[in-house]
Amino acid sequence: MTNRFEGKVAMVTGASRGIGLGIAERLVADGAKVCITARKQEALDEAVVALGGPDHAIAVAGQADDIEHQSNALKQAIEAFGSLDLLVNNTGLNPVYGPLLDLDLDAARKTIEVNCLAALSWVQQAHRAWMGEHGGSVVNVSSVAGLKPAPGIGFYGASKAMLSHITAELALELGPDIRVNAVAPAVVKTTFATALDEGRENEVAASYPLKRLGLPQDIDSVVAFLLSEDAACVTGQIIIVDGGLTLTGGL
């Protein structure tokens, strides 16, 4: 680990477990202070302990698509640690599985609200609270499902394609002082992805050139790179982290 984020403060959404918590752990290990969010305070409190306690992390519970929650979380981060330099939009949901013709449209609307509009709103709020005057870096967590048709999770994929496009648009609008990028993982071994690989991990992994599924640390290292000055000339990019899966033509 390095001290490349010494003096930096990060907001990581959806970070009580899985990819989000892994990202927060990596940022703390590299010197950042972090504010993490998720729905359940108890899980967040446990995550703060894992991150080293209140000297390194605070947590604010709430719904990711609640603008008042966003504003409050950003305010608390700035009050606790003095700035808001880095933002990771990790919160996402996929409440349905199946063909688009059977899609519940209320579930579809909620998917767009959380996966796309909430991420945009977090950037808007962070811009107003700190980054607009001081600059910063943003990483959105997209998905390879947004790159091509993804049977069974088609609308989730459509929402991630929209998030990737929002990423590029924001990068164009917010440069030169704010960089905006995204990562697009394939299946990562987390609770969120259990339905995609449970009981058949070896079968799923066999289609990957690297012959394994992703781990949270595979994603957090790329996110840390994109947030850091090591990526000072990188913006508007969608970095695929998929073990080579898309090389095979599959998802």
Q: What is the CATH number of the domain that holds 171?
A: 3.40.50.720
The reply to whether 112 falls in a domain is yes
Structure tokens given for 97: 């599985």
- To 10 degrees, what angle do helices 154-174 and 118-126 make? 20
H or E segment to which residue 85 belongs: none
> What is the residue whose two structure tokens read 């892994």?
22
The reply to whether 97 falls in a domain is yes
User: With bands split at pLDDT 50, 70 and 90, how would you rate the model's confidence at 1?
Assistant: low
Distance CA 102, CA 6 (A): 49
For residue 197, the SS3 value is: helix
The reply to whether 209 falls in a domain is no
The reply to whether 1 falls in a domain is no
What average pLDDT is seen over the chain? 94
Q: What are the residue numbers of the active site?
A: 156
Q: Give me the amino acid identity at 4.
A: R
Task: Find, among 13, 107, 95, 25, the residue nearest to 62 by Cα.
Answer: 13
The reply to whether 115 falls in a domain is yes
The reply to whether 210 falls in a domain is no
Distance CA 205, CA 11 (A): 32
Under a CB-based contact definition with an 8 Å cutoff, are residues 190 and 18 in contact? Answer: yes
Name the pTM for this structure: 0.94
The reply to whether 191 falls in a domain is no
Domain count within the chain = 1
For position 198, what pLDDT does the model report?
Answer: 59
Under a CB-based contact definition with an 8 Å cutoff, are residues 226 and 139 in contact? Answer: yes
For position 199, what pLDDT does the model report?
Answer: 60
Q: Is residue 38 pLDDT above 60, yes or no? A: yes
Which residues constitute the domain of residue 180? 9-186+215-242
The per-residue pLDDT for range 118-139, each reduced to its tens digit, is 999 999 999 999 999 999 999 9
For residue 110, the SS3 value is: helix
Percent of the chain with pLDDT over 70: 96
The reply to whether 18 falls in a domain is yes
